[in-house]
Structure 1
């Protein structure tokens, strides 16, 4: 923050005290509309208020929550702290004048504010002093609420994959919540009292343990025709891949032992799936992906020279043509991303269906019947027997 800005702040806001030499953290009072308001401010990029952390009494917070659009605009435009405070003074004065901001003193306005300021200022100082301060950033609440902050942790692994996590503090007394794009099987245990560096080290430890897993998933994504998930995330442990026209394979990879033979489920008509199922049974004992690509191992397991890669043609992707659209709704994907997973076993039909579409179709006929967790009836196309899982 330059000297001119510093002088302006000290002159116009003498009770707002800078807490460091860089004029990036302030604790004190601002006067607006004849009222004193205790505030705490932290600026990641002084003198700009972009990314600012701002704490204030509850009555002021409630009022500012109704002015979020103005505040967001000020913050995103990157105005200086001095200009922000001047605008804030005017906003508060208008709010008081029109009865939108009650004059409030005592415990209601200061409820937990001092405690929160102490708690969050401690976290901010920990980040500033951490050996990982370049990888840890402080940002406002994702919901845009005042009086809340969260930490964003960033880690680039040895393969240039970038991983992020957020640490949210619901209160000063409860355990923080850490969220990251990691498989659900991975547990990161955090507790109140942990430092910013400890949060980061916990995250890095989890990321480092998953390097082999992500290498395997990256190989599958690069060398196979993946149709589900449509846009894989680092947390996803499954893939559905095409192995032949209207035949696909559902794989589930163990994130802690990714070279182990994956769980495999075939999706397709019985006639088209049978050769692959037989090959799988014959080659189970020969599985070995250590030292070689898991894609190559899968191909050997299925009796193939190689697994097909995604085909594109002029004008777009051929996924719908090769995979087969649902013969009821005539779509490839439902709104929830579901792909056709049920296929008629009649070799002269072999049409695919979404499980949801087929269930609704069969449910509409009195001749359909349930046996355990499946509903049985007639194929919408050839009228021969077909079934699907019961949909909740």
Structure 2
């Protein structure tokens, strides 16, 4: 939080009991945690780290009758906690209860991270509030997993998307074996056991760059063309660093696309912009033969 925001809050604190109360309570929480402060101090946003270093944003809405009326809260979590409140409660109590809630969700997020790391998750944008994953099993077929955030080791809800014979077999196998799910076993082990098969892992772009389509031109290889120089006929050679995207591109195609975007910045021979699929920051070297 910039010093000017703290100064503004301090000045407002001189004018009313409400402002003085909010200012002193922010001091207790720590200004380093404050991300955003509304003009009238009724809206506050705090950055909180959980025990594994994940960053979470807690938004707090106050009424003018605060602290008689409890604040409204929202956060990037699959479900919000029931806030315990009394006339003696303060913002630090809200933060403490939020941290306790984050602790209860650690296993849930760990299971999702295992899924993202071990299976072929289809174009997911990372969100701590999301409790489902769409797993690509090939041939335009998918498994939609919905994990119970409050009981992540329990049997997940599952939907099979696709009409191929392999999907129908997998659906019948799951229905037959669903009662065999055991909470004490690791989630992915349970999944493989009930489906009686191991699901495909994430595409290894580095090993299969000749087989991965470019996310812009949708071709596996560039055309054979003298103007492309040493890139002529090459496969995809750039991958988005966002593990929940990992979309592959020809660097030439990506460079051409970035040049068409007005927000793209250039420093020497490097273009800085955003991935066309997940909007995460990307940096691409310009191919000299295309300049």
Give me the TM-score of the superposition, normalised by structure 2: 0.61
CA distance in 2, matches of 1:315, 1:272: 24
Q: 1:210–1:255: 8 Å Cα contact kept in structure 2? A: yes
Q: CA deviation at 1:134?
A: 6.3
Match of 2:289 in 1: none
Match of 1:251 among 145, 159, 177: 145
Q: CA deviation at 1:315?
A: 6.2
Distance 1:291 1:284, change over 3 A: closer
Q: CA deviation at 1:265?
A: 0.7
Q: Secondary structure at the match of 1:265?
A: strand
Q: CA deviation at 1:245?
A: 1.7
Match of 1:189 in 2: 83
Counting only pairs closer than 5 Å after superposition, residues 1-392 of structure 1 correspond to structure 2 as 48-49=3-4, 52-53=7-8, 117-128=16-27, 130=28, 132-133=29-30, 136-137=33-34, 139-141=36-38, 146-173=39-66, 174-184=69-79, 186-189=80-83, 191=85, 193=87, 194-227=89-122, 230-269=124-163, 271-288=165-182, 290-292=184-186, 294-310=187-203, 312=205, 313=209, 316=214
CA distance in 1, matches of 2:164, 2:16: 65
CA distance in 1, matches of 2:47, 2:13: 30
Q: Which has the larger radius of gyration?
A: 1
Distance 1:237 1:160, change over 3 A: same
The number of aligned residues is 210
Q: 2:26–2:91: 8 Å Cα contact kept in structure 1? A: yes
CA distance in 1, matches of 2:56, 2:134: 24
Superposition CA RMSD, Å? 3.2
CA distance in 2, matches of 1:125, 1:55: 9
CA distance in 2, matches of 1:303, 1:161: 34
Q: Secondary structure at the match of 2:16?
A: helix
CA distance in 1, matches of 2:118, 2:133: 12
Q: CA deviation at 1:257?
A: 0.8
Q: CA deviation at 1:256?
A: 1.1
Give me the TM-score of the superposition, normalised by structure 1: 0.47
CA distance in 2, matches of 1:273, 1:255: 26
Structure 2: gaps spanning 5 or more residues:
220-291
CA distance in 1, matches of 2:57, 2:31: 13
CA distance in 2, matches of 1:305, 1:51: 54
